[in-house]
Structure 1
Amino acid sequence: MIQHLDVDGVPTLLAATGGPMRAGLTFRVGTADETLASSGITHLIEHLALAPLGLADYHVNGATAQAFTTFHTQGSDADIAAFLTAVCGNLTNLPLARLDVEKEILRTEWSSRGGAAVDNIPLWRHGARDYGLTSYPEWGLGALTADDLREWAARWLTRENAVLWIAGDRVPADLRLALPTGTRQPVPTASSALPQTPAYFVNGSRAVVLDSVVRRSAAASVFSGVLERELYRSLRQDAGLSYTTTTGYEPRGDGYATLRALADALPEKQDAVLGGFIDVLAKMRVGRIEQADLDATIAKREDILGIAEVDAARLPSYALDLLAGEPTRTVDEHRVELKAVDLAALHEVAKEMSASALLMVPGGLSADWAGFVAAPTHSTEILQGSTYTSKEGNSALRVGVDGVTVLQTDNPLTVRYDDCAAMLVWPDGARQLIGSDAIALHIEPTLYNLNPGTIPAIDAKVPDDRQIAMPARDPDEIPQPQTAVRQHTESADSTWWELPVMVLSGMGILLVGALSVLLTLAMLLTETEPGEEQLWGAVVVLWLLTVILALPIVKLQRRRRGR
């Protein structure tokens, strides 16, 4: 049984456990509450709250998710009381002396994070906002100030916006939750960047992944297990195409849940896995669901509900429901809901899943043949404004009063200023505008014939709080027009002969010039005998020849200086 208590104004949940006492303090705030330009602020505060605690003799940690942030620990009464009391103290009075250090730690954490097959799915479904922000780096870290952090903590990290849960037989006597007063914050509304579903997008991963949004229900939770059994049987046991076939069901807190499925594939079998995966989805969409799979899945869920410490095990998810304002249920109520799930209910979930599906397919494949539409990779709107041609001749940049459009063959990219989620700013003048729909256009001044005022005009239109300063780039990283590179290469190829000509000409000057000097001196220092006057003609010829030999060197030197 889960007891509802109160500790210092914070709703508290208590359930008995036979193991070590553990506890968590969960707040209704996460990455989906941020903007792209402020992304990372919740994660940074979580790190700052934990940093002064140093190395603990017991398990402590924190986690920032899309809609919730949790600080959790395991240990004795005194350990738990000391940890949670210190966390609340640090949240109220942030240890800002470590601000720069923790920013660097978070940047390092992101850079070392391994890419997962599902990382880009939030971006494709939601865009560069709310639930889509987990697909992006925490670009907001650099500009965050101490005042930004204090304001964020005062709004979100309050006693009314928190739930404490404890797996144990009592609340630690010395526990103090000194949090400021605030208000309970609703779960963010999920946006959509998909004009039509079911949709698909192409990714370099070697897996086929399904992402869908369904109404939260016991039937949807059970359906996840049934779908996993069918994928395992079809793609691994029967066809031997996949090794990993898995599904996941995660309530979002707004009455809906994310339902996902994944099947991996060898490069040479990706086409077959995609076909088999879609066949399974089609089979379930028309209601061909095995009763045996339903019975086995429900039996497994009932086994979990039957363990001695089931209430202690479900405390974290129970706390999330309480924070989000979702219905909270007893174990007996869960059993009743499970027994009510039948094949007809699963069929309804399958239809919901298919209608909202977003499919990630391996590179080189598509899913349009199965009724999925390609998720948009370019814009439908082209803005009016001044047009600047590309130095490479394959695109143009149009800058208007409402936004920017990159004109490409059949694939324009447009970001309106009033819909710009963020603009990345490089010291060398490069800019990247990212729309809330995740459309991103990159402006490299070196690649366009821009007026001097073009970039400043764009900067003036994008609000300062959406501009993200990026570190300076190495000159070699700044792209140059291919035409310029080609001209340089052609120039180098066409002048290979210049140096040999200059060397030969120089040798000729030395030889002929030396003869001219010797002969001239000889004529001047000796008396000219009758009949030797013609020798002066030879001297003149030799000097003329010396001048002629010098002309190539002079002309080639001028040509090189001109280049």
Structure 2
Amino acid sequence: MIQHLDVDGVPTLLAPTGGPMHAGLTFRVGTADETLARSGITHLIEHLALAPLGLADYHINGMTAPAYTMFHTQGSEADIAAFLTAVCAHLQDLPLARLEVEKEILRTEWSSRGTAAIDDIPLWRHGARDFGLTSYPEWGLGALTADDLREWAARWFTRENAVLWIAGDRVPAGLRLGLPAGVRQPVPVASSALPQTPAYFVSGSRAVVLDSVVRRSTAANIFSGVLERELYRSLRQDAGLSYTTTTGYEPRGDGYASLRALADALSEKQDAVLGGFIDVLAKMRVGRIEQADLDATVAKREDFLGIAEVDAARLPSYALNVLTGQPNSTIDEHRAELKTVSLTDLHEVAEEMMASALLMVPGGHRADWAGFVAAPTHSADTVDGTTYRAKQGAGGLRVGTDGVTYLNPSGPLTVRYDSCSAMLAWPDGARQLIGADAIVLHIEPTMLELPPGTIQAIDAGVPSDRHVTMPARTPDQIPQPKPIAHQEEPAGRSWWEIPVMVLSGLGTLLMGGFCLLLTIGMFAADSEPDDKWFWGVIAVGWLLTVILALPIVLLNRRRR
């Protein structure tokens, strides 16, 4: 049974555990509350709050997710009290002496993290904002100041915007949560960069991944397990195409949940895996769902609800529901809900999943044949303004009063100033504008015929709080137009070729003409058999004519 308490004005949840005491302090703030140009501020505050604790003799950790930030610890009652008390104190008075050190640590953390198959999905679905920001580097770190951090902490890290949860039999003695007063912050509204669904995009990953948004429900949670069983049976057990087939169901905090499915593939098996994956989705969509899979998934959930530590295990998700205003059920209510889930309910979830589906397919593949539309990679419109040509190749840059368009042969890329999420600015003048819809427009002044003041005009158009200063590039990192070869002296040609070809032509003409006259004369004179030696002379002459013509043929082919 989970108890609801209050510690220093912070809602507190307490559940018994048979193991070591552990606890967490969860705040309703995450990366989805930031902007791209100032991304990383929540993560930086999390690091600063933990930095003075150094190497603790007990487990401590922190994490920043899209909708929440959590500080977690496991240890003795005294250790837990000391940890949570210190974290709250540091949030009130950030150890800013470590500001630059922690910025560098975060940059290193980002650069060293591996790439996962699903990393790009948020930006394709949401764009360069709210829940899509997890796909981008923390570009805002460099410009963040001490005042920025204090203001952010005062707004988000408050007692009204926090929930404390403890797996143990009591609140640790001496625990003090010295947090300022504030207000409970709502979950940000999720945006969409997809004009139409179901949609697909092409990735360099070898995996096939489905991402969808469904209403949060017990049926949707169960459907996730049923889908995983079907993918495993079809793609691994029966066809032997995939090693990993997995699904995930993650509530977002706004009444909806992300439902994902993944199947990996060898390069030579990608066609078969993509086809098999889509076949499974189509099967679920038309309601061909096995009762045995439903029963097995429900039984697995019931087994979890029957363990002695179930309430302690539910504490983190329970706390997040309290923070986001989502309902929490008792164990008995969970069991009752599981028993009501039917195949009809799962069929409805399958239809909802497909209606919002975003499919990631391996490179060189498509999914339009299965009813998925290609997610946009270019803009639907262009700005009005002056067009400046590229120094080489097709295309050019059109600069208007309300935005910029790069005119690509494959399609325009447009970012309007009022919907620009961030503009990366290099000291050499290069600019990269990232639209809220995740369209990226890169400007290299060295590759365009831009008049003076063009870059300054673009800088003035983008709001100043969206400028991100980038480190200087080395000269070899700045692209330059390729030099144009001189037509007068083509590579690989020598001065003597023309004279040789002229002499060869004259010799061929003279020898060929002489042989032609002799041949005509012999036929006209109706030659006798004794004149065979004369025919031999003519044959040798024609052979010399061919030899004299060879330089023209060979040199002409070489010049081509």
What TM-score does the superposition give when structure 1 sets the normalisation length?
Answer: 0.87
Tell me the residue number matched to 2:206.
206
Tell me the residue number matched to 1:67.
67
Could you list the per-position Cα deviations for residues 385-418 of structure 1 after superposition, in whole angstroms to 9, with x for gaps in the alignment? 0110000131110000010000112410000000
Counterpart amino acid of residue 325 in structure 2:
G
For the structure 1 residues 489 and 156, does the alpha-carbon distance in structure 2 shift closer, same or farther, using more than 3 Å as the test? farther
Tell me the residue number matched to 2:183.
183
Tell me the residue number matched to 1:161.
161
Looking at structure 2, the residues matched to 260 and 453 of structure 1 have their Cα atoms a distance apart, in angstroms, of 48
For the structure 1 residues 488 and 221, does the alpha-carbon distance in structure 2 shift closer, same or farther, using more than 3 Å as the test? farther
Tell me the residue number matched to 2:121.
121
For the structure 1 residues 490 and 420, does the alpha-carbon distance in structure 2 shift closer, same or farther, using more than 3 Å as the test? farther
Looking at structure 2, the residues matched to 490 and 159 of structure 1 have their Cα atoms a distance apart, in angstroms, of 78
Mapping for residues 399-548 of structure 1, pairs under 5 Å: 399-482=399-482, 484=483, 486-487=484-485, 493=491
Tell me the residue number matched to 2:36.
36
Looking at structure 2, the residues matched to 187 and 444 of structure 1 have their Cα atoms a distance apart, in angstroms, of 38
Compare 473-482 and 429-438 and name the one that shifted more. Answer: 473-482
Could you list the per-position Cα deviations for residues 520-559 of structure 1 after superposition, in whole angstroms to 9, with x for gaps in the alignment? xxxxxxxxxxxxxxxxxxxxxxxxxxxxxxxxxxxxxxxx
Counterpart amino acid of residue 436 in structure 1:
A
User: Gaps spanning 5+ residues in structure 2: where?
Assistant: 496-560
Deviation at 1:211, TM superposition (A): 0.1
Counterpart amino acid of residue 75 in structure 2:
G
SS of residue matched to 2:468 = strand
For the structure 1 residues 444 and 345, does the alpha-carbon distance in structure 2 shift closer, same or farther, using more than 3 Å as the test? same
Deviation at 1:496, TM superposition (A): 10
Could you list the per-position Cα deviations for residues 29-68 of structure 1 after superposition, in whole angstroms to 9, with x for gaps in the alignment? 0000000001000000000000000000000000000000
SS of residue matched to 1:407 = strand
Looking at structure 1, the residues matched to 396 and 444 of structure 2 have their Cα atoms a distance apart, in angstroms, of 12
Could you list the per-position Cα deviations for residues 439-490 of structure 1 after superposition, in whole angstroms to 9, with x for gaps in the alignment? 01000000000001100000011111100000000100101123x2x43899
Mapping for residues 129-278 of structure 1, pairs under 5 Å: 129-278=129-278
For the structure 1 residues 359 and 490, does the alpha-carbon distance in structure 2 shift closer, same or farther, using more than 3 Å as the test? farther
For the structure 1 residues 444 and 490, does the alpha-carbon distance in structure 2 shift closer, same or farther, using more than 3 Å as the test? farther
SS of residue matched to 2:485 = helix
Counterpart amino acid of residue 21 in structure 2:
M
What TM-score does the superposition give when structure 2 sets the normalisation length?
Answer: 0.87
For the structure 1 residues 78 and 137, does the alpha-carbon distance in structure 2 shift closer, same or farther, using more than 3 Å as the test? same
Counterpart amino acid of residue 297 in structure 1:
T
Looking at structure 2, the residues matched to 359 and 494 of structure 1 have their Cα atoms a distance apart, in angstroms, of 51
Tell me the residue number matched to 2:51.
51
Looking at structure 2, the residues matched to 106 and 420 of structure 1 have their Cα atoms a distance apart, in angstroms, of 25
SS of residue matched to 1:265 = coil
Tell me the residue number matched to 1:20.
20
Counterpart amino acid of residue 103 in structure 2:
K
SS of residue matched to 1:397 = strand
Looking at structure 2, the residues matched to 22 and 492 of structure 1 have their Cα atoms a distance apart, in angstroms, of 76
Looking at structure 1, the residues matched to 98 and 366 of structure 2 have their Cα atoms a distance apart, in angstroms, of 48
For the structure 1 residues 241 and 452, does the alpha-carbon distance in structure 2 shift closer, same or farther, using more than 3 Å as the test? same
Looking at structure 1, the residues matched to 487 and 202 of structure 2 have their Cα atoms a distance apart, in angstroms, of 36
Task: Report sequence identity in percent.
Answer: 81
SS of residue matched to 2:411 = coil
For the structure 1 residues 9 and 217, does the alpha-carbon distance in structure 2 shift closer, same or farther, using more than 3 Å as the test? same
Whether 1:82 and 2:82 are equivalent positions in the alignment is: yes
Looking at structure 2, the residues matched to 442 and 147 of structure 1 have their Cα atoms a distance apart, in angstroms, of 31
For the structure 1 residues 489 and 174, does the alpha-carbon distance in structure 2 shift closer, same or farther, using more than 3 Å as the test? farther
Counterpart amino acid of residue 191 in structure 1:
S
Tell me the residue number matched to 1:107.
107
SS of residue matched to 2:6 = strand
User: Gaps spanning 5+ residues in structure 1: where?
Assistant: 498-563
Looking at structure 1, the residues matched to 492 and 295 of structure 2 have their Cα atoms a distance apart, in angstroms, of 79
Counterpart amino acid of residue 438 in structure 1:
A
For the structure 1 residues 87 and 258, does the alpha-carbon distance in structure 2 shift closer, same or farther, using more than 3 Å as the test? same
Tell me the residue number matched to 1:354.
354
For the structure 1 residues 398 and 316, does the alpha-carbon distance in structure 2 shift closer, same or farther, using more than 3 Å as the test? same
Tell me the residue number matched to 2:279.
279
* Number of residues of Structure 1 aligned to a counterpart in Structure 2: 495
RMSD of the TM alignment (CA)?
1.4
Counterpart amino acid of residue 175 in structure 1:
L
Looking at structure 2, the residues matched to 328 and 293 of structure 1 have their Cα atoms a distance apart, in angstroms, of 26
Tell me the residue number matched to 1:529.
none
Looking at structure 1, the residues matched to 433 and 360 of structure 2 have their Cα atoms a distance apart, in angstroms, of 25
Deviation at 1:21, TM superposition (A): 0.1
Moved beyond 4 Å, runs of 4+: 488-497
